[in-house]
Amino acid sequence: MSGISKRRAGEVMGGAFVADPRPAVRGDRVCGARCAACGYPSAPAAPWCPACQHREQQPAEFGPGATVWSSTLVHIPVGRWKPPYALAYIDLDDGPRVLAHLQQAESLSMGARVRIGGGDEGGDLIVTAEAQS
CB 102 within 8 A of CB 89: no
pLDDT of residue 16: 61
pLDDT of residue 12: 56
pLDDT of residue 21: 80
For the chain, 133 residues long, the average pLDDT of each consecutive 10-residue run is 48 61 91 96 92 95 96 93 96 95 94 94 90 67
Q: Give 107: exposed, middle or buried? Use CB within 10 Å, 0-12, 13-18, 19+.
A: middle
How far is residue 67's CA from residue 92's CA, in Å, rounded to a whole number? 7
Residue type at position 65: G
Is the model's pTM score more than 0.85? Answer: no
pLDDT of residue 132: 67
Query: CA torsion, points 15, 21, 26, 28, in degrees to nearest 10?
Result: -150
Give me the domains of the chain, ranges plus CATH numbers.
25-129 (2.40.50.840)
